[in-house]
Structures are given as C-alpha cells and as structure tokens.
Amino acid sequence: MTKISAALLAGAALGAMMFAGCDMVLRQDMADQPKTRPQSPSGMFSDGRSARPLIENTVAHGSIKNDIFNVGKDYAGYPLPVDEKLLLRGQDRYKIYCAPCHGAQGDGNGMVAVRGMKHPPSYHIDRLRTAPNGYFYDVMTNGFGAMYSYSERIAPRDRWAVYFLCASPAIEPQRESQLICRRVCGRR
C-alpha cells in the first residue's frame, strides 16, 4: 500500500468510528428541554403562574440602587432619625457581628483579634473619628482590608443602627442621641 492509500484508509476508519455512535439527527437536548417562559401559565403551581412571588426579606436584583440607605463614602448626613429603639437595635447587631473582632469598646481587641487574627483599627483613632458617615456604611456593606462584606448579614437599616451606636458621641446636631447612647452603652 502506498502512503496516500494508507492515509485515506485511516481517515475513513476514523470517520466511520465518529459517525457510528451518532444519530444522523442533531441532538438539541438543551433547546428542547421542558421549561416555562416568564409570565407564562403553568399547571405546576396552584395559582397557575410560572413566575413566583418574591420571598420575604430577599433583595431583588438591581433594587439596591433605589435604596435610600445606600449612600456614597463621602455622605455626611443622617438617613434616618436616631432614637433609643434604633440604638438598642444597633447595640444588639454590634454585639453579634462587630464585637468579636472590634471588641465591646470598639478598641480592636475582640476575641478574634486576641486569638491571633489581625487587629482591626480602633474606632477611637482620629482617622476614624473624622471619617464621614458614609465611609462606615460603605465598609460594612463592601468590606475593607481583612474585613469582609456584611451586606448579606446585616440589613441596611441595621448597618446605620450600628454606625449610630458607635459614632453617636461624635454626633453634634443630635444631642438627644448622645444621651441615649451613653445610657444604653454605659458611656460617660
């Protein structure tokens, strides 16, 4: 046999093996799968709809842009009024999510830091005392350095409650909140 006929024979054998296991019809399982189109009727659910209503406490994709609590890092205002109920909620969330690293006093000596992890900065340093309100909200939302994002764990309103709890002695326009915070936190 010549080299050309050997190559032709090998090519024909390879082609026969490729087509031997295949139907001659192109399979389109992904295109032909059973599915429901958005807003189409469905017999699967008792209400007859294929689109399901949102589950309570979920955030629809894109709705964060319309959230009044979502502010920039340079935001210096107060998106909600500070009262004792908000500060108590902030204290509760702080103890759960923040105190393990930042410590009960906000000095960066929480149990996680004491046991060998990197110490977070103290809330009492000048850089953080003079930072705008939105900076703290942004750090809780997106994380910073070794701190990961708490956007899935702490609701937006609660993030502001935590901020007000930590910063309320520095809030000048709202003297009442200072007194509330000192009473709630035990600060003098």
Give backbone dihedrals phi and psi of 185, rounded to 5 degrees, phi first: -85, -15
- Verdict on whether the full-model pTM lies above 0.85: no
Burial 151-179 (b: 16+ CB within 10 A, else e): beebbbbbbbbbbbbbbbeebeebeebbe
pLDDT at position 20: 63
Task: Output the tens digit of pLDDT for each of the chain's 188 residues.
Answer: 677 787 778 887 777 766 665 555 666 667 777 776 778 888 888 888 888 887 887 766 666 666 778 888 888 888 888 888 988 899 899 999 999 998 888 888 899 988 988 889 888 888 888 889 899 999 998 899 889 898 888 888 999 999 988 875 544 334 444 444 555 555 44
CATH number of 69-185: 1.10.760.10
* Domain parsing of the chain, residue ranges: 69-185
Query: Tokens 């204290």 map to which residue?
Result: 91
Give CA–CA dist 132/64, Å, rounded.
21
pLDDT at position 170: 44
